[in-house]
Amino acid sequence: MSETAILNGPGAFALLRRHAEDPRTGWSLGVFGGIAEFMRDADEPARLLATPEQIEVATARGALRVTAHPGMVVLPYEMPSRHEERRVPAIAACLAATEAARAGRQAIVQIGPDEEAIREEDRGAILFDLGIGLGSVEACVRTRDPALISAMRRAEGRQMFDPDGPIAAILAASPHRVFISALGRVEVYQPIPPADGRSPDGPHTHVLPKLLAHRRTHAASIPIPEGLLPCLSLHPPRAGGTGRA
C-alpha cells in the first residue's frame, strides 16, 4: 500500500491499524497549542487490541485508541521545513467538519466518570474538560484525587489559565491527560514536568496558552484541504529507517 496515496473508508483504517502495531510510529491528537502525543519503545510491554472497528495500544506510560469512521480521509504529507533533514513524513487522519464535531466546550466542565477509559483500572475516575478544544477535540484531565476534584469543581465555568483557575492544582497533582476526537483518544499517564523542566521521553502533552490564543485547529503550514479537520496524526518512520522520524 502506498504511503503517498490519499485513502478513505476501510483502506484508511487498515493503514492506521498497521501503524498502530508498529512501535516506530508516533501519534498525536490535539489542536494548535494543545496536543497529546503517544509513542512507545520497541521493547516496551504493551497491550494491543484490534477489532474491525477499533485499535487500542496501552503501556504503563500512556495509551492510544483509534476508531474506524466511514468518513475518514487519510492525507499523507511532509512536515514543512527549510531544512531538508527536518522534512519528515506525517499522516493526518481527517473528517469533514460536521463529522469531526465534539462538544466544543469553552470553559472547564465536569464530564463525569470516564467509562470509556482505555485501561479498565482507569474507568470511573472523574473526567474534566479543560475547555480548550476548538470543536474537534476535547482536552481533558482525569483523576480520583479528592483535592483535585474539588479544585476542578470550583473552577467550573472558568478558563484553565485564569488567575484563579486550577492550573496550579493540576500541575501539583499531575493527573492523567486525555485528549479525545471523533477518531479516537490519546491518554498520557506520565507526570507533568515542572515549568523549568523538559517533557519526558514517551507519551506527553503540551498546552501552550499563547498558541491556543490563535484558535487554530492545526498549524497553517500543514496542508489540510478546506472542509476537513485533522482528528489524529501519525508520525511514521522514515522509509528504510529503524526509528521515528
* Sheet with 89-96: strands ordered across: 7-8, 73-78, 89-96, 228-235, 26-31, 34-38, 204-207
Q: Considering the chain, what percentage of its residues have pLDDT values greater than 90?
A: 64
Residue 32: Cβ within 10 Å count: 18
Looking at residue 220, its pLDDT comes to 76
Residue 109 covered by a domain = no
Confidence band for 111, pLDDT divided at 50, 70 and 90: very high
CA 201, CA 61: separation in Å to the nearest integer? 10
pTM beyond 0.85: yes
- Going by pLDDT thresholds of 50, 70 and 90, the confidence category of residue 127 is very high
Name the DSSP class of 138.
E
Ordered DSSP codes for 107-130: S-EEEEE-TT-SSGGGTTSEEEE-
pLDDT band of residue 86 (cuts 50, 70, 90) is low
176 pLDDT more than 70 = yes
Place of cell 472558568: 158
Is residue 93 domain-resident? yes
How many helices (H) and strands (E) in the chain? 5, 15
Q: How far apart are CA 23 and CA 99, in angstroms?
A: 29
pLDDT reported for residue 82: 62
- The CA distance from 17 to 169, in Å, is 37
Q: pLDDT (tens digit, 9 = 90+) per residue, 3-22?
A: 446 777 778 999 999 999 99
Residue 200 domain-assigned (yes or no) = no
In-domain check, residue 226: yes
Q: What integer is the mean pLDDT of 141-163? A: 95
Find out whether 220 and 43 touch, Cβ atoms under 8 Å.
Answer: no
C-alpha cell at 30: 490535539
Per the structure, how many domains does the chain have? 1
Q: Is 166 within the bounds of a domain?
A: no
Q: How confident is the model at residue 100 (pLDDT cuts 50, 70, 90)?
A: very high
> What's the rounded mean pLDDT across residues 189-212?
87
Tell whether 161 is covered by a domain.
Answer: no
Cβ atoms of 174 and 9 closer than 8 Å: no
CA distance 62 to 26: 12
> What is the model's pLDDT at position 17?
94
Q: Considering the domain boundaries, does residue 14 fall inside one?
A: yes
Q: H helices of the chain, where?
A: 9-20, 97-100, 146-154, 167-173, 209-212
Cell of 91: 499522516
Kindly indicate the confidence band of residue 74, based on its pLDDT and cuts at 50, 70 and 90: very high
3-state secondary structure of 21: coil
Helix (H, G, I), strand (E, B) or coil at 168: helix
Q: Tell me the three state secondary structure of residue 219.
A: coil
Average predicted confidence (pLDDT) for the chain: 89
Q: Is residue 15 one of the residues assigned to a domain?
A: yes
Domain enclosing residue 90, as ranges: 7-98+217-235
